[in-house]
Structure formats: structure tokens, C-alpha cells
Structure 1
Amino acid sequence: MAMEPSQCELYIYAPSFSLALAAIIIFSVLTTVHFLRMTRSKAWSGIYFVLGGIAQTSGYTARLFSTQDPCNRVAYGIQSVLLLLGPTVMMFSVNLAMIEFTRALRAERFCWIPIDFQRPVCLSVNTALVLLQFIGGIMTVSSTTMNVIAMATKIGIAVFVTQTIFWLFTLAEHTYMTIRLRHVLDEANNLKPVFPNWKYWSQLFGLAISIIATGRNIVRLTMDGGIAFLIENEWPSYAFDGYQMIIVMGAWAIWYLPGKLQAELETYTSLPIHTRDPRFSGEGRAQRRHDRVQRRQERLGREHLESYGSY
């Protein structure tokens, strides 16, 4: 059932004090945890989770002010823009961790985009999307002209669609890499993975992208499409958008992958060159090819001897 409408045109419903307060408390705690884990591990790629958490906390703080004064346009504008940008900013850390994860596994050759180009590509695409989303958000909250609002809505829809396609592409590339890596490790069954329990850590990427790129963006697209149920009630924006980010931030705070990757990188680079794992180097690949050819020749030789003995 729809909530009681506010007395001005900004909110169709009366903003909930309790929902906003709960979001502020939870996001404040999670942002603090991410900040502490980032500084202790010196995994600076995690800064975007901190910035995204600050955006979420500040956005819901502005929403809390709106519960007392629903007609305050400044508070409405702040919460609208910051809650729009928070999850997008978090995806910077997810994409950067995905690149570092590939490097930690020495699986660069399985990437569709060369690994040296992935960081600038991800940063450039995500930055462009954040800026466009920011412009669209500002246009929506600051304009009273229907043509401008309609244009801002189209910009927002285009950004959500582009985000979904790009982030799902990165997830598909990551999935392909993990499948190929499993195949390599299964072939060389006497070798252990470079990154312990890497299959479990890999699930964090699927969690983040499935929630932000698909779940959250689809809900936002549906709201932009004018579905009455979603825009006339406040709780869907919490249940299917804001509180979903709590799951992502909470999982990445508990299993802090940027810190794990930083530790793995420091351990690997501190090893002498001759002790580093050669599996994914050119020399290691050549050795595996040689071993496969030798096993095939031995098998053919045994089959030849068996067929000769049958005569």
C-alpha cells in the first residue's frame, strides 16, 4: 500500500524516518570497516568502496532531513544525486579488484582485453558513466522544465543500460578466465593454485555485479519507465536498491579481497625470481606442451607394441 503523500511535489510519499535512520547507521558502520581494512592492508584500490559508502550515508542523511521537511529542495537534490552515484562508485573497486585478481592468478593470457589495457579502460568507462549519471541527476532535481527532465531521464536510462552491458561483459570475461584456469590446473594435476581458495574468493565478483549491474540497475530502469508501484512507494527503493548495497559492502568487508590481493602481490614480488611459480610463464607453457607430446608418444608406442604382440 502506498504511503501518505507529502505536501509538495518532490515526494509522492512521506519519507520514512526509521528506514533512513537504519540506512545511515548501517552504511556508517560498513564505510568505517572498509576504511580501516583499506588503511591496514594498504589496498588503496578499495578507496571507491569508502567513497561509495560515504555517498550512501550522506544521501540517506539528506533523506532523513527530508522526513522533517519534505519540501526542502536542497535535501531532496542531495539525496537523489548521491544515492544515484554511490553504487556506481563502488564498482570502481570491484573492477580494479577483478584485474588484480587475474594478475594474482597469473591468468592474464585468458583475458579478452589485454591486461595492460584493462585498468585504463575500466577507469575511463566508469568515470564517463559517473559523470553522465551526475549530470543527469543534477538536471532532474534542478529543473522544472518537462523537456529538460525528459532529456535527463533519457540520459539516466542510457547510462544504466551501458553500465549493465559493460559490467556484465567484465563478469563474462572473468567467468571465461576462471573456466580456462580450472582446465589448466586440471591438466597439471600435480600443481596447486597460485592463489589459495581462489574459486571461493571469485564469488565476490558475481555477487557484486549481479546485485549492482543487474538487480539494482533493472529496478532503476523500471522506475524510470514509470511503474506506479515502484515510484508511489518508498520501501521498494530501500529493499531493491539501497539495502542491496549493504549486502555487497558487507560481503566485501568480511572477505576483504583488495587486502588479500595486496598481500598476495607483496608475497609474490618479494620472492627470488627462480622461486616464482613458472606455470603461467612462457617457459611453463612450453614445458606443459612438451610433457603432453611426450605422454602422447608413449601412449602411441604402447598401442603399437600391443598391436604387434597380437600378431
Structure 2
Amino acid sequence: MKEIPKGLESLNDSGYYLWKYIPSVPLAIIFAILFLAITGLHIKKLFDSRTWYCIWFIIGGLMEVAGFIARCVANYNTGKLIPYVIQNLLLLLPPVLFAATVYMVLGRIIRHVNGEIYSLVPVKWMTFIFVMGDLLSFVVQGGGAGLMVIGDAEKTERGEKMIVGGLLIQVVVFGFFCVTAVVFHLRYNRHSVAAAAYGGRGGMAEGWKKLLFMLYGVSGLIMARSLFRVAEFAMGEDGYLLANEWPLYVFDSVLMLAVMGAFWMWHPNLLVREGGRERVRSQVSLEETELSSGTGLKDRGYLGP
């Protein structure tokens, strides 16, 4: 362990240090404000678009805010267990909720373009399979974080191993998800007939593609963050990544802020808006066909039998 910083307190004066540094209040305040702002934007978009399944992004954002507030409190209470536990859990787990939302969006994209036959995983099972894997990761990481704060060296080491295991589960599940998304995209684009069914008139193609590329981007960010966390806990509590504060912000907080920003900018409400526009276009097209043939006028009583 590096030299103990001045002012750092041990847990209940036991000689065991929860923290390896004194958490920065200014940094925690800045990121709490940033996450609060982007979460507020997500709340507004949620109610505007009624895409209720995206509520997990909001819960994850609020967890980030609470986690950074706990870090502020911990600055003055480095020897107290509760602030450490709260910030540890609330900053560790939100990406699991972000990932769950990403899984749900892919299924909706595939249904939106009638591309079920091109999916590697049956769409009706897609959300269940990936979210269950995500939930397993969530439970294992949460259990590991709980063991780490007991203050016993043996349980702390076991907790670190559990967190690494939970993160590896998340990486494997997320990797399979990325393969599923790419395979669908390639198969769908290879079949011009299927692509023309929605993209031929140019109305539907752009929105779902933008959304799919957004999923690629946020998936890459979440994967990078998960790999960082694997390395962090694999190195142990005295390793460089856990013993210094800056890696948490650079390789976790900044990446998750970017995930929330990208998801807000290219939001799944693109599918809601496009679905509405397509229904209007279909109705107009039907009416134009009826009018050109005279059928519609007869049906409406404007022409005789």
C-alpha cells in the first residue's frame, strides 16, 4: 500500500483503511451536477415519448448522482462504513441498468423493421436472455461489494473476486449481445428485399440505423468501462487503480456520462416518431389509391354506384 494520506481515518480506529486516498469534493460535486442534469433531460424525454422501458436509464442516472453525493460525505468521514458502502454500490451498478435498456432497444429495432428472421437470437427471447444475464451480473457484483466493506481481509479479497466474476459475466453477456446486433445488421442489409420493405421509400431507414449505430457506440463505452473495472478489482485493493482517484473518473464516470448523453441524443423515441409517420404515410397512400380508382369516392357516397 502507498503511503497513507494525511487526514485519512481507519475504520473504527482499527488500522484498516477503507479508502486509499481522500475523495475529492469538487470532482464529486461537478459529476453529481452533470449526472443530475442529463438525468433530468432523460426524465423529460421519457414522459414526452412514453418509452417507459427506458426508465432504467433514469434509475441508473439517479444512482450515479447519489453515489457522488456519498463521495462528498465520505470526504469528511473516511473512517465511516456507510458512505463508503453507498458510493461503492451506487457507482458500480448503474452500467448494468444501462445495459439492460440497450438490450431492450435492439429487440424493438428488429421488430420495427420486420427483421425477426435475421436475428441470431429469437426476438421473443432476446430481452429475457440478455436481461437475465445482466441480472446475474448485478447480483454477483452487489454481493461482492457487500463483502468488501465488512473490513475483514479475507472477506475483502473474496468480495473483490466476486466483483471481478460479476463484471466478467457482464462482459461475456455484452459481447454476445454485440455479436447478435452485428449479425442482424449484416444479414438485414444483405437482403435487399427485406431492406426495401421499410427503407425503400427512404422514410424508415435512417432512424433505426442511427439508433443501431448509437447502440454500437454506447455498447463500446460500457464494455470499456467494464474491462477497466475488471482490471481495477483484479489488481486488488492496494493496486494502482483502486489506490488512486483519477482512473475512476476517466475510465468510469466520463464514459457513463457519455453513454447517457448519446442515449438522450439518439433516443428510442426515434422509433415511436417513425412509426407514427409511417402510419400516416400508409393512410395517405391508401386514400390516394382509392381516389385515383374512384373506389374511395364511391365508398364515401360522393359517386353513384
TM-score of Structure 1 vs Structure 2, range by shorter chain: 0.7 to 0.9
Task: Give TM-score scaled by structure 1 length.
Answer: 0.80
Q: Structure 1 pair 248/3, CA: closer, same or farther in 2 (3 Å)?
A: farther
For 1:13-58, what per-residue CA distance to the aligned partner results, in whole angstroms no more than 9, with x for missing partners? 1111111011100000011111110111000111010010011010
Structure 2 counterpart of 1:151, from 158, 163, 168: 158
Q: 1:188 to 1:7 in 2, by over 3 A?
A: closer
1:149 Cα deviation (Å)?
2.0
Partner of 2:303: none
What does residue 77 of structure 2 align with?
69
Equivalent residues in 2 for 1:1-311, closer than 5 Å: 4=5, 6-8=8-10, 9-141=17-149, 143-185=150-192, 191-192=200-201, 194-213=204-223, 215-226=224-235, 228-256=239-267, 258-266=268-276
Deviations 1:147-185 (CA, angstroms, capped at 9, x unpaired): 322222221111111111111111111111111122223
Structure 2 unaligned spans of 5+: 11-16, 287-305
> 1:59 touches 1:78 (CA, 8 Å); kept in 2?
yes
Q: In the alignment, residue 174 of structure 1 is paired with which amino acid? A: A
Residue 264 of structure 1 and its aligned partner are, at CA, apart by 3.5
Change (3 A) 1:119 1:246: same
TM-score norm. by structure 2 comes to 0.82
1:260 positional shift = 1.5
Hey, what's the Cα distance between the residues in 1 that align with 2:36 and 2:190? 42
Query: Sequence identity, in percent?
Result: 22
Aligned to 1:306: none
Q: 1:120 to 1:271 in 2, by over 3 A?
A: farther
1:52-89, CA deviations, whole angstroms, 9 ceiling, x for partnerless residues?
00110100110011112222211111000111111111
Matched residue SS, 1:91: helix
C-alpha separation in 1, matches of 2:139 and 2:277: 37
Q: Which runs of 5+ in 1 are unaligned?
A: 277-311
Q: Is the 8 A contact 1:157 1:221 kept in 2?
A: yes
Number of aligned pairs? 273
